[in-house]
């Protein structure tokens, strides 16, 4: 079982001259650069919907595709790197593998971006079959290039997950990686070592991530085959199921990667350790088992889909989401309650992100409930809820991590507080406009929206601008600190 008991395993030692700290810093810079650019793209889209700027329909849909695909791939990199930073010591991870996987993902992202920006590829980041093949506004090569890009993103993520899982097996074994030894005494190790919560989260992500990457590989190869040989038939329903298995799950896993970061980072701010217990083992094992089954909630409108899958998908959505979210949010509150929490940029963003996760999660489950979905399907409610937990959750965790990584010991200076406020006010207003549009039934993914869409989008653009200004200020402050502290911590990785 747990191979960790057998003592250290001999590893290849030769590093490529890249220090872990340098690699994490580089990935953060690339990631935040992309987020900044893609956030501007999002603002331009809102402005177009609000009739502030004019975009041709083809340009709008290309930008929509770029923003969606780019943001998802970027937060995958950012959350994976942040979690890796804490797992490296615990699991003896090697930086070369991180280099491979970040390179593959970024390379895939660039290929997809070229297909979109040069070729005008624009069927949306979910590239639903058969749209990529019948859209006449983009050339055939751009379709193929985009899928090659997606393939590389999947491969990069697979490399990350395989290495993670292999290391967990070496150090703990899969069952003890999930801390199941807290429930089954027979599994207990002689040295009494139990996996910390951040490793539990990593075990779940590594396994579900590999399933996702495997399904994604099959999907993309089928699409590439159809692209190269149009006579090669594919079943649209099968493709749609696989697409959401891949797309939904990989986006979802960024939240679980973030949870792993929270477990490792909050103790730093509260001065209290975050312990593993049975409840973590049970809830994370539950999430591990059910997260891969939540995807059918994207297919409620597909009448040909087997009814049992619809019901099972609905149930799985609840079972997958609730336990890990509840234990993490409660655990965090307990950790913070009556501690001398140091309120820095990092801790503020982590706590705010937990709120975003909670609100967005509730809004998501409303949408995943069939009678509500009948009304909310494909309205702005959908971008409303996922921006709440991606922008207002995952992204806040990533900013929090960057701030921690750059050195978060000094209190936040007043001018940075101003940017913090701008960021949060802009974000809340921006999200509120999405929710308002959803309640009014404004459809999502439309270059031109029916009323009151344009009015809400106009207000939303102003808030998006405020958000972006706040974000820029904060990122500059974090970058400045990172440069100042970087030299003195060159050899250290904590």
Phi, psi (rounded to 5 degrees) for 140: -60, -40
Residue 71 touching ligand HEM (CB under 6 A)? yes
324, 444, 462, 474: which one binds ligand HEM (CB under 6 A): 444
> How far is Cα of residue 28 from the mean position of the Cα atoms in its chain?
14
Q: Between 252 and 270, whose beta carbon lies closer to ligand HEM?
A: 252
Q: Which two tokens stand for residue 210?
A: 């590999």
Q: Which of residues 178-217 bind another protein (CB under 8 A)?
A: 210-211, 214-215, 217
For the segment 142-181, give every residue that binds another protein (CB under 8 A): 151, 155, 158-159, 162-163, 165-167, 169-170
Q: Which does 169 bind (CB under 5 to 8 A by kind): ligand HEM, another protein, none?
A: another protein
From the CB of residue 16, how many other CB atoms can be counted at a distance below 10 Å? 9
From residue 399, how far is each of 160, 247, 255 by CA, in Å? 21, 23, 14
Q: With binding defined as CB under 6 A, does residue 226 bind ligand HEM?
A: no
Cα–Cα distance measured from residue 289 to residue 207, given in angstroms and rounded to the nearest whole number:
10
Query: Can you tell me which of 239, 335, 391, 462 binds another protein, judged by CB under 8 A?
Result: 239
Task: Select from 391, 399, 433, 462 the one that contacts ligand HEM (CB under 6 A).
Answer: 391
DSSP bridge partners of 379: 443
Nearest residue to 2 (alpha-carbon basis) of 161, 159, 193: 193
Among 67, 94, 344, 387, which residue interacts with another protein (rule: CB under 8 A)?
94
Rg (alpha carbons) of the chain, rounded to whole number: 22
Which residues lie closer than 8 Å to 279 by C-beta, 6 or more apart?
327
**How many residues form the binding site for another protein (CB under 8 A)?**
40
Range in contact with ligand HEM (rule: CB under 6 A) among 12-20, 232-240, 338-346, 382-390: 382-390
Cα–Cα nearest to 470, from 370, 371, 399:
399
Taking the least distance from each CB to another protein, the nearer of 227 and 395 is 227
d(CA 159, CA 154): 9
Binding partner at 94 among ligand HEM, another protein, none, C-beta below 5 to 8 Å by kind: another protein
By a kind-dependent CB cut-off of 5 to 8 A, residue 218 interacts, out of another protein, ligand HEM, none, with another protein
CA–CA distance, 115 with 14 (Å, rounded to integer) = 37
> Which of ligand HEM, another protein, none does 167 bind, CB closer than 5 to 8 A by kind?
another protein
Task: Give alpha helix (H) positions in 15-56.
Answer: 20-49
Look at the block and give the residue holding tokens 């804490």: 86
Sign for the CA dihedral angle at 267, 272, 276, 277 comes to: negative
Token couple for 135: 């859209």
Of residues 64 and 474, the one with the C-beta less far from ligand HEM: 64
46 binds, among another protein, ligand HEM, none (CB under 5 to 8 A by kind): ligand HEM
Which residue ranges make up the site for ligand HEM (CB under 6 A)? Answer: 39, 42-43, 45-46, 64, 67-68, 71-72, 75, 124-125, 383, 387, 390-391, 394-395, 444-445, 464, 467
For another protein, the binding residues (CB under 8 A) are 3, 9-12, 94, 96-97, 100, 151, 155, 158-159, 162-163, 165-167, 169-170, 210-211, 214-215, 217-218, 221-222, 225, 229, 231-239, 242
């Amino acid at each position: 079982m747990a191979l960790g008991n057998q003592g250290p395993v001999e590893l290849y030692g030769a590093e490529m001259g890249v220090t872990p700290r340098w690699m994490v810093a580089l990935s953060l810079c690339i990631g935040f650069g992309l987020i900044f650019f893609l956030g501007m793209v999002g603002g331009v889209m809102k402005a177009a919907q609000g009739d502030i700027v004019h975009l041709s329909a083809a340009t709008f849909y290309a930008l929509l595709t770029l923003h969606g695909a780019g943001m998802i791939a970027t937060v995958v990199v950012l959350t994976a790197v942040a979690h890796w930073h804490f797992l490296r010591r615990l699991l003896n991870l090697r930086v070369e593998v991180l280099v491979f996987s970040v390179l593959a993902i970024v390379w895939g992202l660039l290929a997809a971006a070229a297909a979109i920006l040069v070729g005008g590829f624009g069927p949306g980041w979910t590239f639903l079959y058969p749209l990529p093949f019948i859209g006449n506004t983009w050339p055939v090569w751009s379709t193929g290039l985009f899928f090659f890009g997606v393939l590389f993103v999947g491969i990069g993520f697979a490399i990350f997950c395989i290495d993670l899982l292999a290391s967990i097996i070496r150090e703990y074994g899969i069952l003890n990686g999930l801390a199941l030894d807290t429930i089954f005494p027979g599994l207990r190790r002689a040295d009494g070592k139990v996996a910390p919560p951040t490793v539990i989260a990593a075990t779940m992500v590594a396994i579900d991530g590999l399933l996702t990457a495997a399904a994604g590989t099959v999907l993309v190869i089928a699409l590439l085959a159809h692209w190269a040989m149009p006579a090669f038939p594919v079943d649209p329903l099968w493709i749609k199921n696989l697409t959401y298995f891949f797309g939904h799950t990989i986006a979802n896993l960024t939240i679980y990667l973030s949870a792993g970061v929270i477990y490792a980072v909050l103790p730093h701010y509260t001065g209290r350790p975050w312990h593993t217990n049975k409840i973590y083992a049970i809830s994370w094992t539950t999430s591990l088992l059910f997260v891969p089954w939540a995807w059918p909630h994207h297919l409620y409108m597909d009448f040909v889909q087997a009814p049992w899958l619809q019901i099972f998908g609905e149930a799985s959505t609840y079972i997958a989401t609730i336990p890990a979210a509840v234990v993490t949010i409660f655990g965090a509150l307990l950790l913070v309650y009556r501690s001398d929490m140091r309120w820095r940029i990092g801790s503020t963003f982590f706590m705010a992100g937990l709120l975003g996760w909670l609100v967005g999660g509730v809004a998501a489950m409303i949408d995943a409930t069939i009678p509500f979905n009948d009304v909310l399907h494909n309205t702005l409610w959908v971008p409303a809820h996922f921006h709440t937990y991606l922008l207002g959750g995952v992204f806040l965790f990533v900013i929090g991590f960057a701030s921690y990584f750059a050195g978060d010991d000094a209190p936040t200076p007043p001018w940075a507080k101003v940017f913090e406020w701008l960021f949060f006010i802009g974000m809340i207003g921006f999200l509120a406009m999405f929710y308002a549009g959803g309640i009014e039934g404004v459809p999502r993914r439309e270059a031109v929206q029916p009323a009151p869409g344009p009015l809400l989008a106009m207000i939303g653009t102003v808030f998006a601008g405020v958000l972006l200004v706040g974000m820029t200020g904060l990122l500059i402050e974090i970058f400045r600190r990172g440069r100042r502290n970087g030299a003195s911590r060159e050899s250290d990785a904590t």
